[in-house]
A and B are shown apart, each in its own frame.
Chain A
Amino acid sequence: MQPAVKRVIFYVLLFGIWQVAVYLFDVSPALLPAPTDIFVSLYEGFSNLTLVYDLVASFRRLFIGLAIALVLGLLLGVLLAKSKTADETLGSLILALQSVPSIVWLPLAIMWFGLNEMAVIFIVVLGATIVMTINVRTGIINVPPLFIKAAKTMNYRGFRLFSKVTIPASIPYAVTGMRLAWAFAWRALMAGELLSTGPGLGYSLRFASDFGDMSRVIAIMLLIMLIGIIVDLLFFQRIEKKVLRKWGLAT
């Protein structure tokens, strides 16, 4: 059987059993709404445009944060790969920061920037920059020495060698870095919005929760999940696969 067919059957069963169970045991919608209620809420959200506004607001922040993070990560990654001193000092700090979920910076960020968008963007930038930096650094360090040797025999050195060989050779790692940066940014954004202000998906989720509207809460959860999967699968994984194949790193 095709994996896609198996998956469809699985989800139909999952939602079916959920629906029947909620109906049979008469579960209160404040605890667990039925799938149909969730889909109705999702439909309403889109038809009265509230969810659309939330999506636009969230994506605006995400793009700003991610763009800053990618540029910053690229620069920092190059710095760490090229300067041993920077790697031994700043590099250790970045590795240490990696083990801290970026959301724990929110209280500080709110003190610094106020209870506004800036604080949320800061959280997004922080989370995404670190993974991007680490991947770019690894990519540059792992450029095959043979490429460098070959280019040297062709009179390439200095900045030209770096820009024409080192940078393109490390693109597969940079692409993986971008994919992870997106994943980190998306999670950080939702956490940040949940705990600070709106508009945005995260904020609307908390708003719905404050009013006990669990259908809306789960509807938004589904939306967060779907966007996460779709962007990763349809965009980043595709690019990554293509690049890896072209760079001869995948079979």
Chain B
Amino acid sequence: MFLSMNNVHKSFTNNDKTELVLSDIQLDVKEGEFVSILGPSGCGKSTLLSIVAGLAHATEGSIELEGKTIKGPCKERGMVFQQAALFPWLTVEENVMFPLLPDMSKKEAQQKAHQYLQMVQLGAYTKHSPHEISGGMQQRVAIARALAMDPALLLMDEPFGALDEQTRSRLHEIVEKIFLETKKTILFVTHSIAESLKLSDRIVVMGTQPGTILEVIELNFPRPRSQSKEELLYYEEKIQALLKSEIDKVTEKEQNHAASR
């Protein structure tokens, strides 16, 4: 298997209290697959993605990419965060060159940066500063920066969470185009059902407290998904029902907690 998570557990210890955040995560991802992770806030989606990125470590279990156990961050796994995380002291182009410079000449890096900036339709903004472009554009630069490393796996943590609806749907098109062109494997965290239905081959629905995988939904529909609106409606309702019961669970817990105080 390309990427496999083997009963991953993660707990945090704060003030002598240990909280189990991820419990027994078991997931396999095939090469070239677009997998979304969907779940209520606080269920551990970002935590799981950080473990895959190598920025955090599993308390138990392991994750393997192409047969090698993940131990730390590495260029084979590119990450796009919810905030663009561009370096303000560098121009757009220099930001995209940033991961490349240690390994290649400035000229090569610049060429490559331009190539990926064109892919996200920002070829005209290479010399701008991050603060001079919009949030949606910044996020596209972040995507170009991650792609420029040519990672085997692209991790995206709610990359469009902070953007408005129109910008979002434009970026969906760009991401889909990149996915089809580059054939990258993508792990995509979101809390938007519509977003996951539009983009993914499979949707992993997570429950919370502790974070577990509730269900994995296969979507065998042709792209673009706008052709299969009716069929997708069924899945939308199914996921909504799954998430609602999770959110109800959390609300009930909180009320009990409040009542017991």
Binding site for B on A (CB under 8 A): 146-147, 149-156, 160, 164-165, 168-169, 171, 245-248
* Residues of B in contact, count (CB < 8 Å): 25
Q: Is B83's CB under 8 angstroms from A146's CB?
A: yes
B178 CB, min distance to chain A CBs, angstroms: 18
B12 at the interface (CB under 8 A from A): no
Q: Is A248's CB under 8 angstroms from B131's CB?
A: yes
Report the separation of the CA atoms of residues A151 and B101 in the bound assembly, to the nearest whole angstrom: 13
Q: How many contacts between A and B, using CB within 8 angstroms?
A: 56
Q: Is B85's CB under 8 angstroms from A150's CB?
A: yes
Q: Is B79's CB under 8 angstroms from A246's CB?
A: no
**A154-B75, A154-B149 as given contacts; A246 in contact with B87, CB under 8 Å:** no
Q: Is A154's CB under 8 angstroms from B81's CB?
A: no
CB-CB under 8 A from A246, the residues of chain B are 88-89, 129, 131
Q: Is B131's CB under 8 angstroms from A153's CB?
A: no
Report the separation of the CA atoms of residues A125 and B89 in the bound assembly, to the nearest whole angstrom: 30
**A153-B55, A153-B79, A155-B74 as given contacts; A147 in contact with B85, CB under 8 Å:** yes
B102 at the interface (CB under 8 A from A): yes
Q: Is A155's CB under 8 angstroms from B83's CB?
A: no
Q: Is B73's CB under 8 angstroms from A153's CB?
A: yes
CB-CB under 8 A from B75, the residues of chain A are 153-155
Report the separation of the CA atoms of residues A168 and B91 in the bound assembly, to the nearest whole angstrom: 13
CB-CB under 8 A from B98, the residues of chain A are 151, 154, 164
CB-CB under 8 A from B77, the residues of chain A are 153
CB-CB under 8 A from B74, the residues of chain A are 153, 155
CB under 8 Å from chain A, chain B span 44-92: 50, 53-55, 73-75, 77-79, 81, 83, 85, 87-89
B124 CB, min distance to chain A CBs, angstroms: 20
CB-CB under 8 A from B102, the residues of chain A are 155-156, 160
**A154-B99, A155-B73 as given contacts; A146 in contact with B81, CB under 8 Å:** yes
Q: Is B78's CB under 8 angstroms from A153's CB?
A: yes
B207 at the interface (CB under 8 A from A): no
**A153-B79, A154-B149 as given contacts; A247 in contact with B73, CB under 8 Å:** no
Report the separation of the CA atoms of residues A155 and B100 in the bound assembly, to the nearest whole angstrom: 10
CB-CB under 8 A from A171, the residues of chain B are 89
B40 at the interface (CB under 8 A from A): no
**A146-B81, A146-B83 as given contacts; A245 in contact with B131, CB under 8 Å:** yes
Most chain B CB within a 10 A radius of its CB, from A150, A152, A171, A248: A150
CB-CB under 8 A from B131, the residues of chain A are 245-246, 248
**A245-B131, A246-B131 as given contacts; A153 in contact with B87, CB under 8 Å:** no
Report the separation of the CA atoms of residues A248 and B133 in the bound assembly, to the nearest whole angstrom: 12
